[in-house]
Amino acid sequence: MQEIKIKTNERNEFVDISAQIRAVIRDSNTNSGFCTVYCPHTTAAITINENADPDVTADMLRKLSEMVPAHENYRHSEGNSDAHIKSTLVGNSVQIIIQNGTLMLGTWQGIYFCEFDGPRTRKVWVSIT
């Protein structure tokens, strides 16, 4: 397993980590298998979506914040319940096929670390089987 460090700059932000995941696969010399990308945080998430038009992630962040308002009658005293809810909605891991040493992502797909309670320094665990 490899750990990747990610520095986020906003409270809500999508960070494209595809290049870092590709580097882990390259260094592992894996020809075929599966790559699991896991987020060990309760206020962040991992997803795969379009990486061509940045408006897509902007729209997703806007819609998530609309569906899950930052301030509502939440009970959790830390004041970041919206981030916990978004984390569960988006999910904390993705699995991608590796074939011929290549990460099998669609043409327009990128792997995103989704920050919902930044800015912070975060980590992502990558496991190849």
- 80 or 92, CB closer to Zn ion? 80
Tell me the per-residue interface mask from 42 to 81 with Zn ion, x by CB under 5 A, - otherwise.
------------------------------------x-x-
- 33 or 79, CB closer to Zn ion? 79
DSSP 108: T
Tell me the per-residue interface mask from 8 to 37 with Zn ion, x by CB under 5 A, - otherwise.
------------------------------
Nearest to 16 by CA among 55, 61, 47: 47
| Residues facing 87 on adjacent strands | none
Footprint on this chain of Zn ion (rule: CB under 5 A): 78, 80
